[in-house]
């Protein structure tokens, strides 16, 4: 979730989001890793959106804070659309990281999913902006998989956990390794900023799920 605003003077659309982490496995270092991954990956395409004749480059401005003393009421009653709250623990239901629906601002991250270069934070951030998984998950012959591909996606062998495994062989690494995902221009265009952006005030991307997660 975040806000989007047009900066006509500098030819930009600025998308601002703030990441708040809590939980037993959260700390300042992992919080900065999440922030940096989201900002660097989502800015990588250098995408241009055209609105009313103005060509504007999309720039993501991501801030973050580890807040160990965060209270449930701060999540429930938050009114800042930039804030996204993620609990981080060593164990998670289903052994996966997830957010609370498309366009949400809360979620639960599994620590093991947040290693350097995992792309997990960038993927889940896409969900907070309202982006779903692709409708089909066979990307063989299509190059690098886009960021919203889920685990289990079929890809060219070079992008698998095990390049020698048969495609689709989950037992031997024959599916996409998440570290190969990239944010592409199509992912930015899927946000439909050309329809949403206002030249007068920031608009909200996503919505308030406001769910507190227990350990």
Percent of the chain surpassing pLDDT 70: 100
**Reported pTM:** 0.96
Tokens of 15: 């998308």
Distance, CA of 97 to CA of 110 (rounded, Å): 5
Helix pair angle (28-43, 120-128), 10° resolution? 70
Taking residues 111-132, report their average pLDDT: 98
Contacts of 20 (CB under 8 A, 6+ apart): 64, 65, 67, 70, 83, 84, 85, 86
Residue 93 has pLDDT above 90, yes or no: no
Which pLDDT score is estimated for 51? 92
Mean pLDDT across the chain, nearest whole number? 97
Which pLDDT score is estimated for 152? 95
The DSSP letter of residue 200 is S
Question: Domain spanning 2-131+191-205 has what CATH number?
Answer: 3.40.390
* β-bridge mates for residue 41, sequence order: none
Residue 95 has pLDDT above 90, yes or no: no
The residues spanned by each domain of the chain are 2-131+191-205, 133-184
Residue 94 has pLDDT above 90, yes or no: no
Tokens of 47: 């995408």
Which pLDDT score is estimated for 128? 99
Which pLDDT score is estimated for 64? 99
Distance, CA of 8 to CA of 200 (rounded, Å): 10
Q: Could you report the per-residue pLDDT of 27-80, keeping only the tens digit for each?
A: 999 999 999 999 999 999 999 999 999 999 999 999 999 999 999 999 999 999
Q: Could you report the per-residue pLDDT of 133-183, keeping only the tens digit for each?
A: 999 999 999 999 999 999 999 999 999 999 999 999 999 999 999 999 999
């Amino acid at each position: 979730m975040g806000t989007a605003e047009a900066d006509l003077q500098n030819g930009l659309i600025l998308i601002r989001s703030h990441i708040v982490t809590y939980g037993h496995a959260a700390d300042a270092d992992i919080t900065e890793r999440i922030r940096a991954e989201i900002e660097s990956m989502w800015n990588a395409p250098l995408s241009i959106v055209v609105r009313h004749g103005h060509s504007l480059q999309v720039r993501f401005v991501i801030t973050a804070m580890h807040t160990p003393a965060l209270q449930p009421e701060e999540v429930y009653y938050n009114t800042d659309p930039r804030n996204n709250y993620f609990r981080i623990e060593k164990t998670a239901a289903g052994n996966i990281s997830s957010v609370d629906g498309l366009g949400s601002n809360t979620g639960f991250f599994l620590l093991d999913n947040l290693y350097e270069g995992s792309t997990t934070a960038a993927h889940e951030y896409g969900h907070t902006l309202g982006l779903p998984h692709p409708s089909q998950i066979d990307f063989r012959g299509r190059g690098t998989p886009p960021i919203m591909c889920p685990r289990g996606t079929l890809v060219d062998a070079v992008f698998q956990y095990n390049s020698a495994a048969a495609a689709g062989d989950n037992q031997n690494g024959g599916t996409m390794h998440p570290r190969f995902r990239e944010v592409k221009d199509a992912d930015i265009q899927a946000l439909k900023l050309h329809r949403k952006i206002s030249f007068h005030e920031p608009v909200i991307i996503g919505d308030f799920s406001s769910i507190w997660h227990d350990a």
